[in-house]
């Protein structure tokens, strides 16, 4: 069963709880994009916002850390109520971060950029819950999907299935009704979508349209 993760990056931060409510009926997780202005050239939100959001929703908070120093902030995210943190493999050995996340009872995510080879994340497949594929260069919402990422996704799908692993494959960037079916066919379990959902007049309907496009076999006839 595929999942939709609306990215609050494209929501109106001034009324975040209301924005979450608008999408809640069609959201399986909420994707939280944390950017520090160093790892990526944009600055967004951090653990204090997760802490404020936590009492307003029981949705899974899927925190994507695009920051140089995730190790300094994991404790804050755990205490704020994050269900998982996803760290970039480009920063170096993620194992010490995995251990810290597990100690806090968080699920563990690992993410790689479009140009990072799949080989960089394969050694960790047995140790993670979520493998995230960036299908845009991280930093901004509203960019175009990079289709070359699909080859990596297909290869990972095959490996995960062959080994019988429980890791979920998530894809992030440029997901809309046109790209969702391609990503789902390549093996994605979780589709992150920001601008296509929150810039729509009805975010829940937009999320449902993406879900139905991705997994049409689940649409009641
Ligand atoms: C980009 C973020 C994405 C972003 C996706 O760095 O990681 O999660 O919100 O936005 P869209 O869906 O607009 O490409
Ligand atoms: Zn993201």
Q: Give the distance (Å) from ligand 2 centre to CA of residue 220.
A: 30
Distance CA 46, CA 37 (A): 12
71 contacts 88 by C-beta, under 8 angstroms: no
> Does 194 sit in the ligand 1 pocket, CB within 6 Å?
yes
Task: Pick from 36, 137, 141 the residue to mutate for probing ligand 1's pocket: most ligand atoms within 8 Å of its CB.
Answer: 141
Q: What's the whole-number mean pLDDT along residues 23-48?
A: 98
pLDDT the model gives residue 103: 98
Active site residue ranges: 33, 172
Full-model pTM: 0.98
Q: What's the whole-number mean pLDDT along residues 52-78?
A: 98
Q: What's the whole-number mean pLDDT along residues 9-20?
A: 98
pLDDT the model gives residue 89: 98
Q: Among 191, 204, 159, which residue's Cα sits nearest to residue 3?
A: 191
Tens of pLDDT along 90-142? Answer: 999 999 999 999 999 999 999 999 999 999 999 999 999 999 999 999 999 99
pLDDT the model gives residue 218: 86
Q: Give the distance (Å) from ligand 1 centre to CA of residue 174.
A: 7
């Amino acid at each position: 069963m595929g999942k939709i993760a609306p990215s609050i990056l494209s929501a109106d931060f001034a009324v975040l709880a209301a924005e979450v409510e608008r999408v809640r009926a069609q959201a399986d997780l909420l994707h939280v994009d944390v950017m520090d202005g160093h790892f990526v050239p944009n600055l967004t939100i951090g653990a204090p916002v997760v802490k404020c959001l936590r009492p307003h929703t029981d949705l899974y908070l899927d925190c994507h850390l695009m920051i140089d120093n995730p190790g300094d902030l994991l404790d804050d995210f755990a205490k704020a109520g994050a269900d998982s943190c996803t760290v970039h493999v480009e920063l170096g050995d993620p194992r010490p971060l995995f251990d810290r996340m597990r100690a806090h009872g968080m699920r563990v995510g690992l993410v790689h950029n479009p140009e990072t080879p799949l080989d960089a994340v394969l050694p960790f497949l047995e140790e993670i819950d979520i493998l995230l594929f960036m299908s845009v260069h991280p930093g901004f919402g509203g960019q175009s999907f990079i289709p070359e990422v699909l080859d990596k996704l297909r290869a990972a799908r095959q490996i995960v299935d062959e080994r019988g692993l429980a890791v979920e494959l998530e894809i992030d960037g440029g997901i809309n009704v046109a790209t969702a079916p391609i990503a789902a066919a390549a093996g994605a379990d979780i589709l992150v979508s920001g601008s296509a959902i929150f810039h729509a007049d009805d975010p829940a309907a937009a999320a449902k349209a993406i879900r139905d496009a991705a997994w049409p076999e689940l649409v009641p006839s």
